[in-house]
Amino acid sequence: MNSDIVARVIPCLDVTNGRVVKGVNFVDLRDAGDPVELAARYDTQGADELVFLDITASSDGRDTMVDVVSRTAEQVFIPFTVGGGIREVADARKMLRAGADKVSVNTAAVQRPEVISDIAAEFGAQCVVCAIDAKWDASQNRWTVYLHGGRTATELDAVQWAERAVSLGAGEILLTSMDRDGTRDGFDIALTKAVSSAVNVPVIASGGVGNLQHLAEGVTEGGATGVLAASIFHFGDHTIAEAKDVMSAHGIRVRPVG
Amino acid sequence: MTARPRVAVLDYGIGNLRSAQKALERVGADAVLTQDATVVSAADAVVLPGVGAFGACMDALRDVQLETVTHDAVASGVPFLGICVGMQMLFDGSEEDPDARGLGIIPGQVKWIPSSVQRPQMQWNQLNIRRDEPMFSDLGEHPWMYFVHSLHGVPTDSDCVTATVQYGDTLNVAFRKGNVFATQFHPEKSATAGLGLLHNFVASVKS
């Protein structure tokens, strides 16, 4: 890895109807379900960026997400990305104007790839993250792109889709292994490596982190420059500082905490 | 100073301006997003943000008649801060859009960072401060700031470079020319260090 690269540690918050899904085990939070308070906590802890994933089903709930973004921008002074329900330029504009730095597109981009170029043309490639959920398909000897949290298979090869998304203007790839998500067995290193080698934009590895060693492997072996995790941070197993200490011990440059 | 300094953040329809406004408010300014020339000329300090492509930002700035307003603000002598593409626009032009004319406030060109490294640089990086500068006071010797960029400014007069970072090469990332300050990084997204810089900027407003 180039020694000028500084890896990013990125906690991810799943939000539905303006509340964080799954309890978050920070003992002294006033309101463990408030995404804004959690985001501020991660900022203080030394997180490099944040991702909010809005898993709200209803459109009413999505308006709630705009409010979450807006309140976050008043208190959190690190970059944050909002994903979930971004279907067109107007959705992106709403989130960016409310204070998000980037939006991530997933299902909408698979269904209508131009949404990537549309958003990039108006706001720049740096604020378009293409989120890809991929699962290994042994019969085809490839990773297949899935939609709807891994329930719906597409015809797309994940590595090829990542390349196409970047050519359309995605400035970053958020890559989640559906095989590893929730397992705590570590990132799918082969998948991460395949995608990070294929594209010249930053790749954020996601799915499967069970310990801090896994975060380091995503960078040193997978070639990711960002590592995303939820449960190991939310449940208080580890702090951002501990994560960075372990990554640093593996020779990865990180922004020190504090 | 008793009153909160009034900072005009030039709003020409680009992405996230709210973070800059909120960060300035956090450090004690009364910050307003505006494209109104009278609001800008009454302000104690002016901020020109920018994200996306150089040419598109210049077009957008001209579309809302803010080009002259920007020149007037700089000429008035109030503290002026360009951020990211807002910094790049202060130069004469950019390799990103060779046909687009910049503001020409800092003589020089905006050039691609080396292709040997991942572009954009989308990460935190550590400044090397080149000279004592009120904007950097109390930030330590090598503060960490957040970057998203593929180009950097190369001024005709290298003396106006106030900080660099190492990324593939030595990149110029902060500038000063008279009352004009400019940063390639995003202070409004750089946690405590970035807020410290913005605090210094707001504090530079004369009482």
State the complex-level ipTM: 0.93
pLDDT of residue B119: 86
Look at A6 and B120 and tell me if their CB atoms are within 8 Å. no
**Which residues of A fall within a CB distance of 8 Å from B146?**
48, 78-79
d(CA B204, CA B207): 9
Among the partner-chain residues A79, A100, A202, the one whose CB lies closest to the CB of B146 is A79
Look at B118 and A200 and tell me if their CB atoms are within 8 Å. yes
pLDDT of residue B3: 83
Catalytic annotation on B57?
no
**Which residues of A fall within a CB distance of 8 Å from B195?**
77
Pairs of CB atoms within 8 A across A/B = 97
Look at B16 and A8 and tell me if their CB atoms are within 8 Å. no
Please state, as a whole number, how many other Cβ atoms lie within 10 Å of the Cβ of residue A129. Answer: 29
Characterise A251 by phi-psi region: left (phi > 0), alpha (psi -120 to 50), beta (else): left
Question: Half-sphere exposure of A255 toward its Cβ, with a 13 Å CA cutoff?
Answer: 29
List, in order of start, the domains of chain A with CATH numbers.
8-249 (3.20.20.70)
DSSP conformation letters of A16-33: ETTEESS----TT-S-TT
Q: Give the CA distances from residue B161 to residues B84, B114, B125, in Å, rounded to whole numbers and listed in that order.
A: 15, 19, 17
pLDDT of residue A19: 87
**Which residues of A fall within a CB distance of 8 Å from B189?**
77-79, 101
Please state, as a whole number, how many other Cβ atoms lie within 10 Å of the Cβ of residue B41. Answer: 14
Regions in chain A scoring below 50 on pLDDT: 23
d(CA B31, CA B15): 17
B6-203 carries CATH number 3.40.50.880: yes
Among the partner-chain residues B16, B123, B125, the one whose CB lies closest to the CB of A100 is B16
pLDDT of residue A236: 78
- Dump pLDDT digits (tens) for A27-39: 555 566 889 999 9
How far apart are the CA of B90 and the nearest CA of chain A, in angstroms? 19
pLDDT of residue A24: 55
Q: Give domain limits for chain B.
A: 6-203
Q: Give the CA distances from residue A112 to residues A135, A161, A185, A249, B185, in Å, rounded to whole numbers and listed in that order.
A: 21, 12, 33, 43, 33
- Dump pLDDT digits (tens) for A211-226: 999 999 999 999 999 9
Assess contact for A222 and A187: CB atoms under 8 A.
Answer: yes
Assess contact for A232 and A211: CB atoms under 8 A.
Answer: yes
pLDDT of residue A61: 67
- Dump pLDDT digits (tens) for A172-225: 999 999 999 988 999 999 999 999 999 999 999 999 999 999 999 999 999 999
pLDDT of residue A57: 66
Regions in chain B scoring below 70 on pLDDT: 1-2, 207
Helices (H), A81-200: 89-98, 107-111, 114-123, 158-168, 189-198
